[in-house]
Structure 1
Amino acid sequence: MTAERINPPELSPPTGFSHAVVATGSRLVFLAGQTALDADGKVVGESLPEQFEKALDNLLTALAAAGGTPSDLARVTVYATDIAAYRTHAPELGRIWRESAGRDYPAMAVVEVVRLWDDQAAVELDGFAVLP
């Protein structure tokens, strides 16, 4: 994929995301929402950062199985059950993202939701990627 990340100077400087991503490639990969489920289907991690790390790992595992890499991500949506906790942990979540996915940030949004499919889940990530 060729990805051009666009961050216009008229908008506030992005932190941990890109305002727009122009992606060119030949394959679209739509990634289902991933929570902190282990291979047995149980939510793991007590804290939001622990769950975020596992959910991101699950998302990147699905992407890799489709032949993609983190730099192929064009869009990711984060669904959090507690936006205040997400803001509190933002520096740690950013570190986890950078260690797992690098610094080529996709277009992103964080949305607060009442609950997720699994009652114990605090965060879910979905998105799409464009592969060469």
Structure 2
Amino acid sequence: MAHEIINPAGLHDPGAFGYSHIATTSGELVFIAGQYASDGSGQVTSSDFAEQVEQSLANLRTALAEVGLDFSRVVQLRTYIVEHDAAKLETIGRLIGQIWGKRPPTQTLLGVAALAFPDMLFEVDAVAVRP
């Protein structure tokens, strides 16, 4: 199966970090790499957990738009949370609910000791399906 690697201009250049933002296939699946609260240079934008989740989801929206998709095409999320607790779970549930309502995609939530950068508190990757 043929595939294409894409790095949207609206997101930081991930090459120095050893990954790409999007992989599409000649089939229906689109894979979005872990998105975190990064600005255009890859720096973490906030130390606040909720703000990090919001920016991470905004970056996910940018990646999806690059390949002509939106949140409605996402079928799976994997979320990674540093020092996971009930308050962070509530924040994620609320913000995911604002996007997907009562029918969110499948999701695996992983509590982790750390992410790629010390300031990162949250990361999300996704699988979407082309119409």
TM range (shorter): 0.7 to 0.9
Q: Show the counterpart of 1:91.
A: 90
In 2, Cα distance between equivalents of 1:55 and 1:88: 18
The question of 1:40 aligning with 2:3 is answered: no
Q: Secondary structure at the match of 2:119?
A: coil
Q: TM-score, normalised by structure 1?
A: 0.72
Structure 1 range deviating more: 40-49 or 89-98? 89-98
Q: Amino acid of the residue matched to residue 122 of structure 1?
A: L
Where relative contact order (Cα < 8 A, 6+ residues apart) is larger, the structure is 1
Structure 1 residue 103 displacement after superposition: 4.2
Matched pairs, number? 105
Contact 2:96 2:104 in 1 (8 A): no
Per-residue displacement from partner, 1:7-34 (whole Å, max 9, x unpaired)? xxxxxxxxxxxxxxxxxxx521100001
Structure 1 residue 101 displacement after superposition: 4.5
Q: Show the counterpart of 1:5.
A: none
Q: Show the counterpart of 2:31.
A: 30
Per-residue displacement from partner, 1:61-96 (whole Å, max 9, x unpaired)? 101111111111010000011111xx2133333332
Q: Show the counterpart of 1:57.
A: 58
Change (3 A) 1:54 1:118: same
Q: Secondary structure at the match of 2:29?
A: strand
In 2, Cα distance between equivalents of 1:43 and 1:64: 22
In 1, Cα distance between equivalents of 2:57 and 2:41: 17
Q: TM-score, normalised by structure 2?
A: 0.73
In 2, Cα distance between equivalents of 1:103 and 1:71: 12
In 1, Cα distance between equivalents of 2:79 and 2:45: 18
Contact 1:77 1:108 in 2 (8 A): yes
Alpha-carbon RMSD across the aligned residues, in angstroms, is: 1.5
The question of 1:127 aligning with 2:126 is answered: yes
Q: What stretches of structure 2 of length at least 5 have no aligned partner?
A: 1-26
Q: Among all aligned residue pairs of Structure 1 and Structure 2, give the percentage whose two residues are the same amino acid.
A: 32
Q: Secondary structure at the match of 2:120?
A: coil
